[in-house]
Amino acid sequence: MKLTKSETIQECEKAFIDTINAGLDRDAIGKMLFEKHSFTLQEEIDYKKGDLVVYNDTIAYKFDFEIKVPLSVIFNRQGECLEVSTTRDNFEEESEDDLLDEKKTAAPSISPEQEGKVAQMASDIADMISEINQPETDPSETKHEDE
């Protein structure tokens, strides 16, 4: 014997879950995500679905979200991964005072050998940039002197 329509129960459960979702502290979720996984969120947390579950013999609520996380990947010219990071330096938020403080800090002294390596690296980078900026020429467009 049915006491109510299953659609009524499902609609009330959905309304109940939506009410709980509306009251969730998204900032607290973002903070826990950072503390546990060192993820900083790029955008808001997108709610996908929620449900009533049994967790360790207790009634609980499960909410599924999708998040967008910034991801930085550094790799060398051979394609080997050097670093993966989910946090980014946010240079836009740096104040002018912070930049001035950094300039006041004395740079560590480097040996002449290290200075030479830095100069060589700078030269190599300049050469790479120059190569990148060179327009590609079509071999059929090059003129020979005897033409």
Q: What pLDDT is recorded for position 33?
A: 85
Beta bridge partners of 50: 63
Beta bridge partners of 53: 60
The 10 Å Cβ neighbour count of residue 14 is 13
The pTM assigned to this predicted structure is 0.49
Strands 72-75 and 46-55: unpaired
| pLDDT tens figures, 48-101 | 999 989 999 999 999 999 888 888 888 888 888 888 877 654 434 444 455 455
**Phi, psi of 118, rounded to the nearest 5 degrees:** -65, -45
pLDDT bin (cut points 50, 70, 90) of residue 136 is: low
**Pairwise CA distance, residues 135 & 47, whole Å:** 48
For residues 131, 137, 139, 142, the Cα torsion angle rounded to the nearest 10 degrees is: -110
Query: How is the chain split into domains, by residue range?
Result: 1-129
Sign (positive or negative) of CA dihedral 30, 35, 37, 40? positive
| Residue 31: pLDDT over 80 | yes
